[in-house]
Structure formats: C-alpha cells, structure tokens
Amino acid sequence: MAQFGQTVICGLLIGGVYAVIAIGMTLILGVMKIINIGHGHLMMVAMYVCFALFASLGLHPYIGMLVAMPCLFAIGYLLQRYSIHRVRFVDTILPQTQVLLTLALGLVFVELIRVIFKSDYRSAYTPFSSKCLYIGGMSISLPQLVSFGIAMAFVAGLHILLTRTDFGRSIRATAQDLDAAKYMGVDALRVSSLTFGLGMALAAAGGALLLPIFYLFPDIGTPFTIKALIITILGGAGSTVGALSGGLVFGMAESLGAVYWAPGYKDVVGFVIFIIILLFMPGGLKTVIKR
Amino acid sequence: MAYLDINHVVRKFGGLVAVNDITVGLEQGEIFGLIGPNGSGKTTLFNAINNYYPANSGEIIFKGIPITRMSTHEICRLGIGRTFQVVKPLRRMTVLENVMAGAFLRTNSATKARDKALEILKFCELMPRKDMPAKDLPIADKKRMEIARSLAGDPELMLLDETAAGLNLVEIEVAMAIVRKIRDSGITCFVVEHVMKFIMGISDRMMCINFGSEIARGTPREIASHPEVIKAYLGEEYAKGK
Amino acid sequence: MAKKSWFLPAILGIVAIAFPPLLGGYFQHVLILMMMWIAMATGWNLLGGYCGQASLGSAAFFGLGAYGAGLLYLHWGISPWWGMIAGPLLAIIVGISIGLITFRLRGGYFTLSMLAVCEAMRIVFLNWVEVTNGPVGVLFPRTWGDQKLPYYYMVLAIAALSLYVVYRLMKSKLGYYFVSIREDQDAAEGLGIPSTKYKIYALIPSAGIIGLAGAFYMNYMAFIEPNVVFPLIISAQMILTVMLGGPGTFWGPALGATIFVLLSELLRAFAGPVIGTVHYLLFALILVLVIMFLPNGIIGDWDKVKGAFRRKKPAYVGGE
C-alpha cells in the first residue's frame, strides 16, 4: 500500500514539472497555431546552461534556472520574430512548413550542443539530490517535492499573468481570434514573439527542475517534446488548465507504469495513453470534464 | 416521400441554435432557392446535409435512403454534389486536374476521367482556362470550376452555396445560365443565395429562413412580397408600409 | 504534372550503370549511400510531399525493414536476403495499423505523432531483448564480403524501382487523389474521396520503399541496433533531403538526397577530424535556411534559384 501511495505521489510530483513544460507548448499552440517540435530540444539547451553553471560555478540548478529562463526567453523571442514568423504567410507546397522549421531550429541547437559538449552523459548531482522525506512508510524525494512546489508557483504566476495583465489578455485574444485581436490594436507579431519566448522560458524552468533527476545528453529533448504533445492533446489543445491536469495524470500513469509494468518501458506508457486518447477521446480531458 | 427530405433538422453550436427545426422537401428536377439574412443558418443547413457538421437531431433522406449518419464522401458517392460559400480550389492543380479529381468518382481510368473532365469544362465554358493553376483564377472562374468539379462526379442533386457572391452583373448572367443548363440536364439544384437577382431569376420554389427557423415558403413572387421576409431583411417599418 | 524530358535522366542512368566499376571502394560506398537515400527520400515524398502528410517518424519503417530482415537470421537462421521481402512487408503491416490511428490527426499533430510512434518503437526494440537482442543488435556475416559493387547494383535497382513506382502512382487516380487530399482535405471529401483510405494507400508504397531500403541496409552494413535505425536524425534526414530538393516534385527528393550525401561526405572528410559531428550541425543550419528561403525546395522554387543568379538589368529597356 505504501508503495502504491509513494508511486502515485512521485508521479504527481514529476507530473507537475511535465505540466509546466506542456503549458509552454500549449500556449505556443494556442497563439501561433503550430506545434513546436523543437520544444524539448530548447528545454535541453536550458538544462545545459544550468549544467554549465553548476559545473563551473557550483550553482544549484534552481539558481541556474534564474539565468536559463531569461536566456531561453530571449532565444525564443528572436527565433519567432526573425525566423518562424517569416514563413507563416508564405504559400508552400507542404502546409506544415512552419512546424518543420521548428524541427530544424531545434536540431540546430541539438547539434550545436553536441559539438560543444559532446554526447557524453552529464549530471548535476548534489548531496541534496538524494534527500528524502519519510511519511507513513513512504519515501518521498525532497528535490522532487521542491521542484513540484516551484512548478506550481510558476503555474500560479502564469495564471495571474494570463488573467490579470494586459499582456495576458492580448495572448488570450490572439489565441481566440487573430483578426479580431488585431482590430483591437494587438500587435500580433509582438504577442506571438513574446509568447514563444514565454513558452520557451517555461520549458527552461521545467528542464532546470528536472536536471537534478535525469542524466543529461544532447538527445534528451525528443521524449519530452513527445510527452508535452501527449499532455497537450490529453488536456485539450490550447487549454492551460488542461495541460496542468493532463500533466499530473500523465506523471501518475508513467510512475505506475514504471513500477508495476517495467522500468525500461516507462516512456512507452505515454505512448499507450496517446493511443487510448486518439481512439476514444479525441477532444482530450477537457471534453470529459465539461460533461 | 420527396426527392430530398429534410425532417426537423436541428443544429446547435454550444448555446446557439443555428438551424432550428427545419423541415422541407425537394422535388426531383426543380431549382429550390433558400434565402435569409446573414447568419440565418443557410450554410449550416447545407453542412448538415453534406455531413461536414452533422445535425444534432432530425433526419435527412435522399432518394429514400437516410443519409444523416453517412460520411461526407459516401453522401457524395450517392449523388449529392456541393460547392462552398468560400471557394475551396485544389490550388496547385490546374483547372483540368481539379475537374478530373471530381471525375475519378465514377471511373478508375485516368483517360476516361480526362475525357469526362474536358466534356464538363466545355459545358461550363471553362475550356480556355483548362491548363491554368487553380490558384491563379479570378473568383468567378474559381466558382465555376467548383461547379464543374462537382458535376464531373455525375451528381443527381447539387448544393450550390452562394454561387453569385462576388460576381459582377455579366458574370451573374453567365452563372444563371449555367445553373439552368444543369437543371435541364436532369440535376436537381438546391441553391443558397444572397444576390436576389440570381435566386429570384432561377428558382421554381423558394424558402426564406431567419435565425434558423423558416419564415416563408412559396414561389419567388410570393416570397418577394411576403411581409415576414420584408421584415427580416428591411425591418418592421417596411413590412408594415407594404 | 508537366511533361518530363527524359534525356538527362537517361544519361544519368547510363552513367550510374557504367561508371561505378571504375571507381574505388570508398566512392562506391558513397554511391551506395546516395542510392539508398534517393530511395528513402522518394518514398517519404509520396506520403509527405504528394499527399501532404509529413511524417516525422518514417525511420520506423526503415527500422522495421531492417529488423524484418535481421530477425529472420537471428531467430531462424534464414538469410537476410529474404528480408528484402519480409522487411517491407513488416513495415507495411505495422504502418497500416499505425496509420489507421494517427491519420485521425492533421497537420503538425500528425507529424509529431509519427515521431512518438517511432520513439516508442525504438524503446520497445531496445528493451524487448528476447525478440530483438536489445542494444546488442543483430550481426550477420556479409554475403559478398568486402565487395561493394554487387551491393551497389542492388541498391541502384531499389532506387530505380522506387522512382518507377512513384511515377506510375502519380499518373493514376491515386496520384490525383493524394494531391487533392493535400490541397484541401474537406473539399476532397466533398468530391467523394475517402481521405483516410487514400492516406493509407499512400502510406503503403511509402512504408514499403523505406522498409526495402532498411532491409538492404541490414544486408549491406551487416549490423543494426535500435539506436542506429530508429533515431530522430534518420527521420529528420528524410525530411531534410526532400525539403532541400523539392517536396511534391518528382526529381526533388533524388536531387536533395544526392546533394545531401555528397555534402555529408565532403564535410566528414574535411571537418570531421577537427570537430567530430559538425557536419550534422551544418545540415541542420542548411535545413533552416532552405525552409526559410526556399520552402519549396530547389526544384519547387527554381524561379527563385534562377533569380538569384541573374544579373540585374537596368530598369528601362528603351535605347541601349
């Protein structure tokens, strides 16, 4: 019983961080109407930034996060403004040109990191990384607990941003109806660039929070992009609440899969969820909750 | 049992009832016109017949076969063709290739499809444009191409959605002539339109809807002088004044 | 579907058949890679370029083809050459099952979902050691030892076959339907085209060709493991070659594949010793530039390419 509780809690904690990453993707999806295939790869860049700070200055990833987030925000802003936006209105044979560009940009960063850092596995292991909390026979990883707390703080902060600020309102307006928003004076390019930056910053936060838990290597991004996509679909595209609930559910499912099925197949759990959603719930959790 | 039976069709979008219990029957070989102010639910009704956005309730029966739950492409195969309010050309294909795409519904041979397409292009007076990429066509020709594309599949019923929108007076006359030719070749036409000259000029019977509900039915002359129709389009005072 | 001049391809064909015996082993290897990528790119283009369903997980078909061949040897001692039939067959059967689920998604969702499929496959093949040998992979003594030439003619035939299959398909009803689905899926449905069914029809030859290339790879390299045949970089390279040459064109994929392989070997030869994997970085950069400035590829945006080389003429044409 304790093992079950521990598994579920562990899953929830990681799910919270997944949720932050997925919210980044769903924001971008809502405003720019594209799937950012480079999402996980740019998260990986943030992780390397944190790692570099850790390796050279001994800065804990939670501190490094404060550097990585603005970095990724800037990168995201510049990428959207000067690259991705350029192909938005071009008439091409393949309709998914923008999406493929996000892939290409992501790959540039992957290979850049690989040239700089090589493909070796890195880690940012500190004495804190193995500290545990013992409650009722369950052992809960302290770093995961802290990460979860920070992740929820970000989600709350984002909620305030989206509902109480003008910028947040511009984002929601652009996501709902681009033309109407433009007529209201919203600068679409500025909003989409800032949103892309914001989405990348959230991914950076997620990456930094995951760094103490995972080994780092250049190709680590791909599974996370996929997880973010599955969570986005699970929660309903464009819905931040959906991404949050989807992330928590996803984390729990993965954790249960790792413990009760097989550890090596943990990443396949997400895939199974994906197939189930596609077959039975195309609208995502959102439609289920609404009913 | 009419040729096309629309029975108590309702279509809602969230809280908005776009089509509110519409019942109408079309006879084979007629041109039936549907008018109504903007947002009255005309295109939504078409989308329900075609199953692009299926009806929430009600039944649609074509030639005695219930088509309410059939998929769009099966409905087309059964003999219902459709043009769109906002044209949907197959942009990077030429006009000829667009029409061939429609012709392949009834044949597997590229040669036969090509011959059929050329025949239809002649019928719709589009031969001079046949090798032009569809995206380069002016709007009137795009609309005519859409009609040709659907005709190539040998439909028995054509749903024409705002064929005359955006056309000048000359182009409207040409479009009217083509629709009459289509009816004369044995195809029933269900026409949705805003341009009065077009729809009054070709319809055998008409119906007017507003806010998703029927408000008048009859011949074009009856519709034109019907107080409810006038009220819907021009407001209360004009209806009373008449 | 414009008329093609057959002169240049015919010359190239003769060169492709007659010259390789005169070249050294290394160059033959490069040509083998080139032909393999021509086949893979052409196969991907059928589903991705012509039908508009850009899959980011087509390495799955490659890997299935390779393992289809390798597992025959591993479990039953059958020569992997039989895999030239089993491999594509496996790729097609699995491909159809995948397609029936993922074709419910459109656009970017579909693209990424195929990546999810491929990643899942990679993980399964890595972990299901009883069946696939896991990370150890499949090793097989090469049939023709160190000779490259027989392999070359085999893969040349595969490349020619893939081009032929695509050529015949695009001239037929299937070709018209594929492009219709790409241009406007809803309009296509309104014309009586069952889009999911025809997307599957595009998937079958695509998966088959890529799977065939995979089976060939097994026989040529004589060693495969999941991280070699299923990674993102293979799927991405399929997309890169097609985007470079021209998606939705006939010769585009072949052109892109040729440039890709030649450039790759050049970079590996010159920059390789200095900075190990820098040629992948250059490719990613090239892909970004191509998508931004030549989004229809070299052949698709040929006008732009020509325009870049034309000297600017003076504005007025009056006198001299």
Residue C311: which pLDDT band, with cuts at 50, 70 and 90?
Answer: low
Residue A290: which pLDDT band, with cuts at 50, 70 and 90?
Answer: very low
Q: What's the pLDDT at B104?
A: 94
3-class secondary-structure state, position A122? strand
Contact criterion met (CB < 8 Å) for B50 and C190: yes
Q: Does B110 touch chain C (CB under 8 A)?
A: yes
Q: Which chain C residues have a beta carbon less than 8 Å from that of A26?
A: none
Q: DSSP letter at B94?
A: B
* Residue to test with chain C: of A28, A75, A100, most C Cβ within 10 A: A100
Residue C276: which pLDDT band, with cuts at 50, 70 and 90?
Answer: low
Contact criterion met (CB < 8 Å) for C119 and A265: no
Average pLDDT over residues A47-58: 89
Closest in C127, C231, C292 to A86, CB measured: C292
- Rounded CA-CA distance B55/B49 in Å is 8
Residue A93: which pLDDT band, with cuts at 50, 70 and 90?
Answer: confident
Reply yes or no on whether the pLDDT at C320 is more than 50: no
Average pLDDT over residues C49-57: 93
* Residue to test with chain B: of C191, C196, C198, C303, most B Cβ within 10 A: C191
Closest in A90, A101, A226 to C115, CB measured: A226
Q: Does C108 touch chain A (CB under 8 A)?
A: yes
Asked if ipTM goes beyond 0.90, one says no
Contact criterion met (CB < 8 Å) for A225 and C182: no
Q: Which chain A residues have a beta carbon less than 8 Å from that of C104?
A: 278, 282
* Nearest chain C Cα distance for residue B23, angstroms: 23
Q: What's the pLDDT at A289?
A: 46
Reply yes or no on whether the pLDDT at C58 is more than 90: yes
The set of residues, in sequence order, having a beta carbon less than 8 Å from that of A158 and lying 6+ positions away, is A23, A202, A240
> How many of the other CB atoms lie within 10 Å of CB of C314?
7
List of chains touching B (3+ CB pairs within 8 A)? C
Kindly report the average pLDDT of chain A as a whole number.
Answer: 86
Q: What's the pLDDT at B103?
A: 94
What percentage of chain B carries pLDDT values higher than 70? 96
A73 vs C307, residue with greater confidence? A73
Q: What's the pLDDT at A224?
A: 93
Residue B149: which pLDDT band, with cuts at 50, 70 and 90?
Answer: very high
Q: What's the pLDDT at C33?
A: 93
Domains with residue ranges and CATH for chain B: 4-79+156-241 (3.40.50.300), 89-154 (no CATH)
- Rounded CA-CA distance C247/C287 in Å is 13
Token readout for C29 is 């290897």
* Nearest chain C Cα distance for residue A119, angstroms: 10
Reply yes or no on whether the pLDDT at C312 is more than 70: no
Residue A167: which pLDDT band, with cuts at 50, 70 and 90?
Answer: confident
Reply yes or no on whether the pLDDT at C247 is more than 70: yes
**Strands (DSSP E) along chain A, which ranges?**
132-135, 138-141
Reply yes or no on whether the pLDDT at C31 is more than 80: yes
Least confident of A79-83, B143-147, C276-280, C292-296: C276-280
Average pLDDT over residues B199-224: 88
Nearest CA in chain C to B154: C191
Kindly report the average pLDDT of chain C as a whole number.
Answer: 87
pLDDT of B66-75, one tens digit each? 888 889 999 9
* Nearest chain B Cα distance for residue C186, angstroms: 8
Contact criterion met (CB < 8 Å) for A267 and C276: no
Average pLDDT over residues C52-79: 91
Reply yes or no on whether the pLDDT at A283 is more than 70: no
Q: What's the pLDDT at A291?
A: 34
Closest in C107, C116, C277 to A274, CB measured: C116
Least confident of A142-156, B43-57, B111-125, C5-19: C5-19
Contact criterion met (CB < 8 Å) for B150 and C190: yes
Q: What's the pLDDT at A6?
A: 85
Kindly report the average pLDDT of chain B as a whole number.
Answer: 88
Task: Enumerate the domain spans of chain A.
Answer: 2-290
Architecture of domain A2-290 in this structure: Orthogonal Bundle (1.10)
Contact criterion met (CB < 8 Å) for B92 and C179: yes
Average pLDDT over residues B163-189: 90
Q: Is A217:A122 a contact under the CB 8 Å cutoff?
A: yes
pLDDT of C145-174, one tens digit each? 778 888 899 999 999 999 999 999 999 999
Q: Is C36:C153 a contact under the CB 8 Å cutoff?
A: no
Q: What's the pLDDT at A267?
A: 82
Contact criterion met (CB < 8 Å) for C189 and B82: no
Contact criterion met (CB < 8 Å) for C190 and B84: yes
* Nearest chain C Cα distance for residue A268, angstroms: 6
pLDDT of A216-233, one tens digit each? 989 899 999 999 999 988
Task: Enumerate the domain spans of chain C.
Answer: 24-230
Within the 154-173 window of chain C, which residues sit less than 8 Å (CB to CB) from chain B? 171-173
Sign of torsion, CA C15 C20 C24 C28?
positive
Residue C95: which pLDDT band, with cuts at 50, 70 and 90?
Answer: very high
Contact criterion met (CB < 8 Å) for B88 and C193: no
CA distances from C67 to A267, C73, C154, C211 (A): 21, 10, 19, 9
Q: DSSP letter at B93?
A: S
Q: What's the pLDDT at C317?
A: 52
Within the 158-197 window of chain C, which residues sit less than 8 Å (CB to CB) from chain A? 182
Token readout for C156 is 């040349």
Contact criterion met (CB < 8 Å) for C120 and A86: no
Q: Which chain C residues have a beta carbon less than 8 Å from that of A225?
A: 112, 115
Contact criterion met (CB < 8 Å) for C173 and B89: no
Reply yes or no on whether the pLDDT at B238 is more than 70: no
Residue A79: which pLDDT band, with cuts at 50, 70 and 90?
Answer: very high
Contact criterion met (CB < 8 Å) for C288 and A108: yes
Least confident of B164-173, C179-188, C309-318: C309-318
Average pLDDT over residues A260-278: 83
Contact criterion met (CB < 8 Å) for C172 and B110: yes
C179 vs A118, residue with greater confidence? C179
Backbone angles phi, psi at A44, to 5 degrees: -60, -40
Within the 217-276 window of chain C, which residues sit less than 8 Å (CB to CB) from chain B? 248
Q: Does C113 touch chain A (CB under 8 A)?
A: yes
Contact criterion met (CB < 8 Å) for A222 and C281: no
Q: What's the pLDDT at C133?
A: 85
Q: What's the pLDDT at A260?
A: 83
Contact criterion met (CB < 8 Å) for A35 and C111: yes
Token readout for C310 is 């034309």
Contact criterion met (CB < 8 Å) for C291 and A226: no
Q: What's the pLDDT at B196?
A: 82
Backbone angles phi, psi at A186, to 5 degrees: -80, 130
- How buried is residue B236: exposed, middle or buried, by Cβ count under 10 Å (0-12/13-18/19+)? exposed
Torsion angle defined by CA atoms of residues C241, C244, C246 and C250, in that order, rounded to the nearest 10 degrees: -40
Within the 172-191 window of chain C, which residues sit less than 8 Å (CB to CB) from chain B? 172-173, 176-177, 179-180, 183-184, 186-191
